[in-house]
Chains A and B, each alone.
Chain A
Amino acid sequence: MSRDRYSRFRKFHQAKWDEEIIFELSVPGERGVLVPKAEAAVADEIGDGVSVLGGLKRKKAPALPEVSQMRVNRHYLRLSQETMGTDVNIDISQGTCTMKYSPKVQEHLAARHPGIVEVHPLQDPDTMQGVLEIIYRTEQLMKEISGLDHFCFQPGGGAHGVYTNASIIREYHLSRGDYKRDEIITTMFSHPCDAATPNTAGFKVITLMPDENGFPPIEAFKAALSERTAGIMITNPEDTGIYNPRIKEYVDAAHAVGALCSYDQANANAFLGIARAKEAGFDMCHFNMHKTFSAPHGCMGPATGAVGYKDFLKPFMPVPRVEFDGRKYYLDYNCPQSIGKTRSFLGNFGVILKSYMWIMQHGAEGLKEAAICSVLNNNYMMKKLKETRGVVMYYDFGVGKNRLEQVRWSWEKLQQDTGFGTGDVNQRLSDFGIQHYWTSHHPWVVPEPFTLEPCESYSKDDLDEYCGVLAEISRECYEEPEVIKGAPHCGPTHRVKHPEINDEELIAVTWRQYLKKKGLKK
C-alpha cells in the first residue's frame, strides 16, 4: 500500500514494542558473550591473577543483567526501531541542527576500515600517515571554505569548539598582559553555548536582546563594548534564520576596542561558497562537521567542532598541530603559548574523515550547490507555510526580506484561536512519521516557536509532504481538537506525565534509583 492517493499522507505507525528495561530481561546464569580466557600455561605460571588485588578485589559482582545474546540484540534493535533517525524520516524538524543525509560510503569506511578502526591515536606519526594526511587535507579545505588561516579538529562537538575559542580569547589577552578583559558579548539568538562556554572559561557574559529587526541594534552593541571586552561570540545567521547584514560593523566596532571576534558557524549551511568568516572580519570561527559537513549526529555524538583562526592566533591553538614538511606529516607539540588541549588525542577522527569525503565529493561548485538548494528549499517552504492557518512568522518584513536556510516560526495565532500551542502540534507530528520538531532554545523570545531547516537533502516532494502534514495538524486543531488532545496515537509510547522532572521525589535517572524510589527491591 502506498501513500494516500489524494491527501498524500501515510497511515503511519511507529514501532511500539513495549520493550522492557534491560534489567527486567535478566535470567540468572544466562550469558550474552564468552570472552577470551588466559591459556592454561599462563594460568599455571601466574595463578588466578586477581588475588594480588587484596583488599581492592571486588567483593560483590556488579548487578548487571544476565541476558542471552539474541535477547540483547533483539532488545537494542527494538529500541533502535523506536528511534526516528534522519535515515527514516523527513528530518526537516530539527532546525539549527542541519539534519542532512550522511552518505553510507563514508560510514562504511569509518566504521569498518582497519586503517581507522584498528589505529591507536598515539602510534608513531610515521605509522599513521594516513590519519595525519586526512586531517591535514581537511584543514586545507576548511581554510578555503572559511578564508581563515589555520584549523584544528580536536573539539568533540560544536559547543566544545566554541569553548575552545573562548579559551583562546582568554589566553590571547593574558599573553599580552591584558588582565582586565573579563567580558564576552553575545546575543540572545546566538546558541546557548555562545553564552555558556565563555562563562566556563572564566568570563562574565553580556547577552544583548534583539530589536524589531531580530538582532541587537548596533547602538546597543557599541554601548556594551569597553576596554573590558575580551571578545564577541555570535552566530550569524542567528537561530531565527535572520542574517545580520551589518555584521561587519559589529566586528569592526569590537576590534576598535581591542576585542576578538568569534564566529559561531553552526548555521553555515547556506553560506558555503557564498559568504565567509574572513570577509566579515572575524578572527576565529567554528563549524559543526556533523551538521554542515554531513557526518551523522549519532544520538548526540561523536561529533567534531572544527575551529579556525587567523594567523596571529596560531600560537594559542590546541596541540599537537598536524604539519607537513613536504615529504611527510608530523605532529608539532612545540607551541609554548598553546592553550594545551580541550580533548584527548586528535579528536574524533571518524567524523573528520566523513567530512573530508563529503567536501571532496562536492568540490567548490557542489558546496555552493548545497548552499543554494538549502536556501531554495527554505524559501519554497516559507511560501507554503505562510499560507498555513495559525502560523506566524516573526520578523517578517515581506517581499525582499527573506530568510536564508531556516526559520524560527510561531504558532502564536493557532494558540490564540484554538488553545493548542506548539507543544500540542509537536506531539501530533510524529503520528505522521515525522520527528518532533525543535521548538527553540531557552528563553522563548518568539512565542510558541518551532524551528525548521529544510537543508539540501530534501526533495520537493519531501517539502510538500512536510508542509502538508503541518497544514493538516493545523486543520485538526481548528476542527478536530480531540485528535490533538490525545496525540501521539501511533508512537512507541504516549504523552509523558512529567516531561520535565524537577521534583526530587520523581527523579530516577538509573534503574537502581527507580527501584529505590518505588520501594521495590532489586
Chain B
Amino acid sequence: MSKNNIVYPYIPNSVPEVKAEMMKVIGINDPMELYEREIPEELRFKGVMNLPEPIYDEYSIKRHTEDILKKNKNASEYLCFLGAGCAPHFVPAVCDEINGRGEFLTAYVGESIADHGKWQAFFEYASLMAELCDMDILSIPMYDGAQAAASSIRMANRINSRGTVLIPEKINPENMMVLKNYLKSVPEPDIKIVTLKCDAAGLIDVEDLKSKISQDVCAVMIENPTYLGSVEVKAEEIGKIAREAGAEYIVYTDPISLGVMEAPANYGATITCGDFHTLGLHMGAGGCQGGFIATFDDMKYISEFKDLMFGITETSVEGEYGFGEVLFDRTSYGSRDKANEFTGTSTGLWAITAGVYLAIMGPKGMEEVGTTIMQRSQYAAKKIAEVPGVEVNMSAPFFKEFVVDFNKTGKTAAEINEALLGYKIIGGKDLSFDFPEMGQSILFCVTEIHTKDDIDKLAYALKGIVSR
C-alpha cells in the first residue's frame, strides 16, 4: 500500500501485510533500501512526480477516456471517403473475435511448443499471403507498408550493391518520408533515391524511366495501384526494363486488390510488398497498419529478409507439426549489428488477423470484394464527374481511389472537405499540400462498404457545395 492508502488492483502485493511478509523474507525494513544499495544518491529522483491526480476506479477511467474519444468524428456516424494508405473496409466479425482472444493478445516471444498456436498462425499468415501474392516466401510482419517498401529496397541493394533506387515521384507521401530517412547513412545516403516523372494519375513516364535506368540502379519500385488510385497499365513493360538492366523490380501493392488484379509476381515483380491493413483490420486512427514483403523461393532473397521466419518442421512424434526459426542469424536477435537491418516487435496480432481474413474470404471472397470496390469506385467517379465544374481525369483504370479536380470550381480542396463535414461526410485526401502542381484536387476512396446511396449522397453534396 502506498502513502495514499490505495491497494492497486493491478498490483497484488500492494497489500501492506503481504509486502511486510516479503520484506521480512528479504531481510529489509523498507523497500527503498533495495534502491539505496544500487542507485547512487545523485541519480535518484527526489520528490514526487508532478502528474495529474489519478483516476483510480475502473468506471471513472473508462468514462474519462470515453469523454475524450467522443470528440473524434468517425466513420460510424459519418460517411468516410478518405483513403491514402488507410481506408474503411469491411471487417468480418471473426477477425475481431480472434484478435480479441486473450491468449493471442497477451502472448509475446514464447517458444514454439507453449506458443505452438501462435507459430502456426504466423506460418499460415505467411502461407495465405504467399497465395495472394503468388510468391513463396514471407517473414513475420513489419511496422507498416512504408517499412516494407524501405526494407524491400534495402534487400535489393544488399543483393546487387548498386546504390540507386528509382521510384515514382507521386508515391504515397507518408511512405516517401519514411524512405528518405531509412535509406540514409553517414555521411552520404546509403541508397540514392531518384524519382520518375508521373502523369496526373500517377502513372510512370516510361521514357523517363528508360533515360534513368542504368547499371547503378539496384531496384525500380512502383506502386500498383498507385497512390492516386490508377492501375499502372505498363507494369509489365516497366518490369522488363528494370530486369533487363539487372535491377530488382519491386511492386508495392494493396493486397485487397489482388482478388481481381494480377499478382505482381505474374507481371515481372521480383519483390512484392505493401500494407496489409486492408485485410480484416479497422482504421484505428492509423494503429492497424502492417507491412509485408514477399519473394520467390530463392536463397538470394530468403537470406536477405530482416525479420524472423517460422518454418514448418517435424517433432519427435511422427506426423506432428512443429515450427522452427529459419536462418536466425539473418536477424539482429542473432547477430546484432552484423544483421540485415534490425528487427523487433512489430505487428504480430495484425498479421494473424490478416491470415484469418484471407482464410474466411477464400478465393471467391477476394474476387468479389475486389469486384465490388471496382464497380462502386467507378460508379462514384462517374457520378462525381457529372457535377458541374468538377473533373475526373484518370488516364487509366483505377482501383478504389481516384483524383477529383476542383480547380475550375473556384473552391479549394480544403473548403470542399470542410463543407462536406456539414453533410456528415468525411471527404477525401486534399492533395494540394503534397502535390501543389495538381492544384485543388482531392483523392476520394470508395470501397465495398460504400453503398450506392452513400455515393449518391456524396455526389449530391458536392453538387450543392460547388454551386454555392
Contact = CB atoms under 8 A, between A and B. Distances in A.
Interface in A76-133: 76-88, 91, 93-94, 97, 99-103, 105, 107, 109, 111, 113-124, 127-131, 133
Given A120-B283, A207-B336, A345-B289, A157 B344 contact: yes
A198 B178 CA distance: 16
Contact of A344 (B19, B122, B146, B317): B146
Interface in A1-39: 14, 18-19, 21-23, 30-39
A83 B113 contact: no
Interface string B268-294: 000000010000001111111100000
Contact of B11 (A46, A59, A197, A373): A373
A85 B108 CA distance: 7
A193 B337 CA distance: 8
A324 interface: no
Contacts of B174: 341, 344-345
Nearest to A294: B10
A501 B362 contact: no
B34 interface: yes
B352 interface: yes
B318 to A, nearest CB: 10
A293 B261 CA distance: 42
Contacts of A203: 186
A87 B74 CA distance: 31
Interface in A45-76: 45-50, 52-67, 69, 72-73, 75-76
Interface string B56-91: 101001101110111111111100101011111010
B423 interface: no
B254 to A, nearest CB: 13
Interface string B163-191: 00000000010110110111011110010
A376 B18 CA distance: 11
Contacts of B448: 35-36
Interface in B230-246: 231, 233, 235-236
A408 B442 CA distance: 56
Contacts of A326: none
Contact of A122 (B72, B86, B382): B86
A317 B398 CA distance: 36
Contacts of B417: 124
Contact of A111 (B19, B77, B100, B299): B100
Interface stretch (B193-201, B363-371, B457-465): B363-371
B343 to A, nearest CB: 7
B323 to A, nearest CB: 7
Contacts of B68: 130, 133-134
Interface string B94-127: 1011111111111111111111111011111011
Contacts of A491: 113-114, 116
B342 A199 contact: yes
A91 B233 CA distance: 52
> Which size bracket describes the interface of A in this complex?
35 or more
B131 A457 contact: no
B362 A301 contact: no
A514 B256 CA distance: 25
B190 A202 contact: yes
A39 B383 CA distance: 15
Given A105-B62, A205-B337, A496-B324, A438 B137 contact: no
B345 A290 contact: yes
A274 B44 contact: yes
A329 to B, nearest CB: 9
A343 B144 contact: yes
B25 A380 contact: yes
A205 B56 CA distance: 45
A223 interface: no
Given A35-B365, A196-B332, A496-B112, A302 B375 contact: no
A116 B117 contact: no
Contact of A457 (B11, B43, B258): B11
Contact of A297 (B65, B107, B313): B107
Contact of B72 (A130, A360, A509): A130
B360 A361 contact: no
Contact of A196 (B28, B108, B310, B342): B342
A254 interface: no
Interface stretch (A307-315, A351-359, A388-396, A469-477): A351-359
Nearest to B339: A196
A344 to B, nearest CB: 4
B131 A193 contact: no
Interface string A340-377: 11111111111101001101111111111110110111
A344 B375 contact: no
A45 B186 contact: no
A45 B65 contact: no
A416 interface: no
A369 B72 contact: no
Contact of B260 (A50, A182, A400, A438): A50
A114 B317 contact: no
A321 interface: no
Interface stretch (B46-54, B210-218, B404-412): B46-54
A63 B133 CA distance: 10
A303 to B, nearest CB: 4
A346 to B, nearest CB: 5
A493 B315 contact: yes
Given A76-B356, A375-B35, A121 B285 contact: yes
Nearest to B77: A114
Given A72-B360, A118-B282, A94 B347 contact: no
A46 B44 contact: no
Listed residue (B146, B178, B286, B339) with the most chain A CB atoms within 10 angstroms of its CB: B286
B426 interface: yes
Contact of A376 (B26, B54, B105, B343): B26
B381 to A, nearest CB: 10
Interface string B417-460: 11001000010010000000000000000001101100000000
B156 interface: no
A456 interface: yes
A364 B114 contact: no
A220 interface: no
B10 A196 contact: no
Nearest to A405: B34
A241 B62 CA distance: 35
A178 to B, nearest CB: 9
Interface string B14-43: 100011011101101001101101111011
A460 B112 CA distance: 28
Contacts of A364: 48-51, 54
**Among all A-B residue pairs, the 10 with the closest Cβ atoms:** A159-B344, A121-B286, A363-B54, A202-B185, A345-B286, A115-B69, A82-B117, A196-B332, A32-B360, A87-B102
Given A297-B108, A376-B31, 6 more contacts: A82-B115, A156-B147, A299-B107, A341-B177, A364-B54, A509-B312
9 contacts: A55-B233, A84-B114, A116-B69, A121-B283, A133-B71, A144-B49, A201-B185, A302-B346, A346-B286
